[in-house]
Amino acid sequence: MIEVKKIEETNLADNPVIAQMSNYDHEQLLFCNDNATGLKAIIAVHNTVLGPALGGTRMWSYSNEMEALNDVLRLSRGMTYKNAISGLNLGGGKAVIMGDAKTMKSEAFFRRFGKFVNSLAGKYITAEDVGISPSDMLWVSMETAHVVGLPGKSGDPSPITAHGTYVGMKACANVQFGSDSLSGKKIAVQGVGHVGEYLVEYLSKENADIYISDIDQDSLKRVSEKYGATVVGPDEIYDIDMDIYAPCALGATVNDDTLSRLKCSIIAGAANNQLKIEKVHGQAVMDKGMIYAPDYAINAGGVISCYAEVKNLSSDWAMAKADDIYATIKNIVERSRTENVPTYAIANKMAEERVEAIGKVKLPL
Ligand code: NAD
C-alpha cells in the first residue's frame, strides 16, 4: 500500500542509516563523495508518488554526518507534504552538501554535484536553498537538466511566496473575523527581507496597520519609510497588541515563551518550521483560540514557482496557482474547527490523503 505518514521527531543519531530511512519512510538516499573536489553530499528522495522529488540543495557546515543525514531526511519529507498539499504533481526531495559555503565552492565542486543529481535521471530535481547562490546552480546545470531556479528562468520566488501568504492570511481572517478584509487590522511582520517586504506592500495597499521588526536596520528604515510601517524591536514584537502575527524570518518562534506573550488571534507568515514542537505548540495555539496557518501550506508560492519552471508554465499561471492557497488554508482552518484538531495535524492529514489517493490512481498504469 502506498502510504506516507509523519512520525514523531526523535533523536535518531544512533540508528543505522537504513533504520532512519525506514522511520521517515524514504525511497532512496544517494551518498556522494568526491575526494578531488572535497564534495560530500547526501541526496534524499522521500516520495515520488506524485511526481519527481523536488527540493533545494542546502550547503551547511554540519558538525557531523549524522546531523547532515537527519537534516536531509527531515527536509525532504517536509517537501513531500508541501508539494502534496499544494496540489502539485511533485514528490519530496532535498540535498545537503556538507562544508563551508564561504571557502569550498568551485566550478568543479558544483559540476561534480550536478553529475550526482543527473545520475538520478530526473527522479530528483534540485534548486537553491540556504548557502547556495544562482551562480552555483549555473555550474550544476552544466551537468544536469534537473535543476530549477536558474537566473533568467522562473526568477526570485519571493513575490509569489508573499502573494500566497497574503491570500492565506485573508482566508484566516475570513474564518476568525468574518471578513477577508485586512483593512485597519494590526499586523506585525517579523522580518522584512525578500518575502516580508512584498507582504508589507500587499498589506499597505489594503490599509492595514503595519508593525515591522528586523535585525537589519537598513531594511527596517527603507520599508518603514516606504510603507509607513511602525518599527518595533526584535523581541518587543511578541508583546504588542495585534490581530495578526506574520513570522517571515526565523523558525520556531511559536514556542512556550512567545505563546505566553502573543496577543494575536491569527498566526500567518512565510517562515518555515514556525512551531517549535509541532505537536505541543500546534495544540497550544488552538487551545488559545488562535488560528495558525500551517507554514508549508501558506508559504508554498516558492515551490509553485519552481513547478511552473519545470512544466514551462508562465509566471501568471504561478500567481493564479498561488491564489489557490486561499482555498487550501480556509479548508484546513474550517476542518480544524469542525474536527477539533489543530491545523498542523489537519494539513498533514490532507497531504497524506492526497499521496495515498493518487498512489492508488497510479498503480494500475
Ligand atoms: P530573507 O533572508 O530575505 O529575509 C529574512 C529577514 O529576516 C532578513 O531581513 C533578516 O534580517 C530578518 N531577520 C533575521 N533574524 C531576525 C530576527 N530575529 N527578528 C527579525 N528579523 C530577523 O529571507 P526570505 O526569502 O524573505 O524568507 C523569509 C522566510 O520565509 C524564511 O524562513 C524562508 O525559509 C521562508 N520562505 C521563503 C520563501 C521564498 O520564496 N523566499 C519560500 C518559502 C519559505
**Does the beta carbon of 295 lie inside 6 Å of ligand 1?**
no
Active site residue 94: yes
Per-residue model confidence (pLDDT) at position 7: 54
Q: Which of 126-130, 240-244, 356-360 has the highest mean pLDDT?
A: 240-244
Q: Which residue has the higher pLDDT, 292 or 151?
A: 292
Per-residue model confidence (pLDDT) at position 64: 94
**Does the beta carbon of 318 lie inside 6 Å of ligand 1?**
no
- Helical packing angle, 17-24 and 65-85, nearest 10°: 20
- Average confidence (pLDDT) over 252-260: 97
**How much distance in Å is there from the Cα of 214 to the middle of ligand 1?**
9
**How much distance in Å is there from the Cα of 22 to the middle of ligand 1?**
32
Q: Do domains 12-76+91-141 and 158-353 have the same CATH topology?
A: yes
Per-residue model confidence (pLDDT) at position 6: 61
- E strands along the chain, which residues? 28-34, 39-47, 53-54, 57-60, 91-98, 124-125, 186-190, 209-213, 230-231, 244-247, 266-267, 291-292
**Does the beta carbon of 161 lie inside 6 Å of ligand 1?**
yes
**Does the beta carbon of 158 lie inside 6 Å of ligand 1?**
yes
**Does the beta carbon of 196 lie inside 6 Å of ligand 1?**
yes
Residue that the C-alpha cell 522529488 belongs to: 53
pLDDT for residue 32 is more than 80: yes
Residue that the C-alpha cell 521527531 belongs to: 9
**Does the beta carbon of 216 lie inside 6 Å of ligand 1?**
yes
158-353 maps to CATH 3.40.50.150:
no
Distance, in Å, from the CA atom of 76 to the CA atom of 42, rounded to the nearest integer, reads 11
Cα three-residue angle 24-26-27, rounded to 5 degrees: 165
pLDDT for residue 178 is more than 90: yes
Give me the catalytic one of 6, 40, 94, 330.
Answer: 94
pLDDT for residue 24 is more than 70: yes
How big, in percent rounded to 5, are the helix, strand and coil portions of the chain? 45, 15, 40
Atom of ligand 1 nearest to the CA of 216: 11
pLDDT band at 20 (very low <50, low <70, confident <90, very high): confident
**How much distance in Å is there from the Cα of 247 to the middle of ligand 1?**
9
Cite the DSSP H helix spans in 190-294. Answer: 194-205, 217-227, 256-259, 278-287
Share of the chain above pLDDT 90, in %: 85
Q: Is the pTM value of this prediction over 0.85?
A: yes
Q: What is the pLDDT of residues 141-169, one digit of tens each?
A: 999 999 998 877 777 889 999 999 999 99
Residue located nearest, by CA, to atom 25 of ligand 1: 194
- Average confidence (pLDDT) over 33-47: 98
pLDDT band at 235 (very low <50, low <70, confident <90, very high): very high
Could you give the 3-state DSSP secondary structure of residue 187? strand
Residue located nearest, by CA, to atom 8 of ligand 1: 193
Please state whether beta strands 91-98 and 39-47 pair in parallel, antiparallel, or not at all (unpaired).
antiparallel
**Does the beta carbon of 265 lie inside 6 Å of ligand 1?**
no
pLDDT for residue 364 is more than 90: no
**How much distance in Å is there from the Cα of 183 to the middle of ligand 1?**
24
pLDDT for residue 1 is more than 80: no
pLDDT for residue 55 is more than 50: yes
Q: What is the pLDDT of residues 65-87, one digit of tens each?
A: 999 999 999 999 999 999 999 99
pLDDT for residue 5 is more than 80: no
pLDDT band at 336 (very low <50, low <70, confident <90, very high): very high
Contact by Cβ (8 Å): 229, 248 = no
Question: What is the domain partition of the chain in residue ranges?
Answer: 12-76+91-141, 158-353
12-76+91-141 maps to CATH 3.40.50.2300:
no
Residue 210 phi/psi, 5° resolution? -100, 135
Give strand pairing partners of 151. Answer: none
What does the mean pLDDT of the chain come to? Answer: 93
Distance, in Å, from the CA atom of 280 to the CA atom of 269, rounded to the nearest integer, reads 19
Per-residue model confidence (pLDDT) at position 216: 95
pLDDT band at 365 (very low <50, low <70, confident <90, very high): very low
Residue located nearest, by CA, to atom 4 of ligand 1: 193
Q: What is the pLDDT of residues 191-232, one digit of tens each?
A: 999 999 999 999 999 999 999 999 999 999 999 999 999 999
